[in-house]
Structure 1
Amino acid sequence: MVPLVLLASLVVTIDLRSIDAALSARVVRGIEAETAAVWRPYGVDIRWVGGRDRPAVVDVELTAFVERRALPPPAFARLFALGAVRLHVDLQTHEPIWISYQAVAALLDGRPSDRRMMATRFQEFADIEMGRALGRVLAHEVGHVILGAPFHRPAGLMRARFSADELAAPDRRPFLLTDVDVARLRSRPNSEPRASNPEPRTPNPDRISARGPS
């Protein structure tokens, strides 16, 4: 579970877009910083495009939508979907990543009052937590694509469920890759996936979910 820096860097570009989710500049910076920080120890270089110059060499191109509405719910009681991406049979072509602002906000708001007091009193603190949480959900969905893994692990970044406290806390240890996923990343084929389709479509599993407030 300890991050090992890979010798060869994998360059991943993400075109981050918002649909009916008024993201503050602070939240956007948080999403970008957290997603990149989760993957940096493994030699994955996340670059952000969309009005910015694209790198000369890109291994994977992704589009990610953050939207206000909830995603279609998973088939489990008391769970709701935070993010989704659909992989095709070849595990190379893929559609956009979808992140639900509403679901993440509801999860963070469901914490006991003592654990969300700072976010309730100070908008800056709330934005920092929201950016961090959305970034971790996005990092998970990026993992499905670059690992070619439509399944989940019992622990680490690629597990199926995250708690509100895990998503909001500064500690990144719950979001490390397992040794199995590090090995999978090292053995990743050099074939370049096709760019994600920027047109909005209804996402299907695989989804990352969160247990609702008790």
Structure 2
Amino acid sequence: MITKTFSSGVPFVALLVLLDTSLWGRGTKNGLTEEKAPLTVSVYNEAGVPGEVLSRAEAAASRIFQRAGIAVTWLNCEVPAASEQASRACGEVAFPKHLHLRIVRKSAGLNGEAMGVSFQGEDGIGYLADLFYEPMEELERSDRTDIADLLGHVAAHELGHLLLGTNSHAVAGIMRARWTADELTSAEAARMVFLDQESQKMKERLLETREASGRVEDLTSRL
């Protein structure tokens, strides 16, 4: 299954979602410590996105996931890799806890407005998403869009598809299929996050996977 993210025909202005990022491993909720679910993402920058833009985009996506109770570790991967260790780390595939993002100039077959696509099987399992940088550059030129924030939001959206499974577009929040200028005004920007039920589903999925891995490792150590 392929899930696509499109821009709309109206002016698009991406704004930074201002969220608390003071606690990464753990957060607080109602005065209690809340564990963050870990997620690792290998990023392949085949589009040549400037390093400063990519860093700000990853920070923007991290803030969105932080709000959902997920702490993201980004691996900026090169081909060929700088070392064998880096190659192993970047090449790991472990659904859903280690996903891959590839940033390319544009889609080879999708509508020219498409900004991203996630690849999933019929069972809803997939670990790879592509982001298309050229349509984002066009929005930056035409509407003065902050391209780093836009890239971060699209990255969060496509990773959300991989974590949530099939049919995961929503009527509101970051998982909307189409984003308009009105939805990213200063009054509405705070809504461009994962909905509570989406956050809970993704976090539970990641934590359950980690706990299952821990049980297997513990059993292996006893043999």
Q: TM-score range by the shorter chain?
A: 0.5 to 0.7
Distance 1:47 1:178 in 2: 22
1:12 aligns with 2:39: yes
Shifted more, 25-34 versus 2-11: the winner is 2-11
TM-superposed CA distance for 1:169, in Å, is 7.1
Q: Does structure 1 retain, via aligned residues, the 8 Å contact 2:41–2:72?
A: yes
| Unpaired segments ≥5 residues, structure 2 | 1-18, 21-27, 211-223
- Output the aligned Cα RMSD: 3.5
1:130 aligns with 2:147: yes
2:97 pairs, out of 54, 60, 73, with 60
Distance 2:53 2:182 in 1: 18
**1:55-204 map, 5 Å:** 60-70=97-107, 72-74=109-111, 80-92=113-125, 94-111=126-143, 116=144, 129-163=146-180, 172-188=189-205, 190-191=208-209
TM-superposed CA distance for 1:72, in Å, is 3.2
When residues 100 and 168 of structure 1 are mapped into structure 2, their CA distance, relative to the original with a 3 A threshold, is farther
Shifted more, 31-40 versus 42-51: the winner is 42-51
Q: Does structure 2 retain, via aligned residues, the 8 Å contact 1:72–1:81?
A: no
Which structure's residues are more often strand, by fraction?
2
TM-superposed CA distance for 1:186, in Å, is 4.9
1:33 aligns with 2:59: yes
How many residues align structurally? 168
Bigger radius of gyration among the two? 2
Which structure's residues are more often helix, by fraction?
2
Q: Which residue of 1 aligns with 2:12?
A: none
1:44 aligns with 2:77: no
Q: Does structure 2 retain, via aligned residues, the 8 Å contact 1:17–1:65?
A: yes
Q: State percent identity of aligned pairs.
A: 23
Distance 1:39 1:105 in 2: 24
> TM-score, structure 1 length as denominator?
0.65
Q: Does structure 2 retain, via aligned residues, the 8 Å contact 1:38–1:172?
A: no
| Unpaired segments ≥5 residues, structure 1 | 120-128, 193-214
Q: Does structure 1 retain, via aligned residues, the 8 Å contact 2:114–2:132?
A: yes
Q: Does structure 1 retain, via aligned residues, the 8 Å contact 2:68–2:196?
A: no
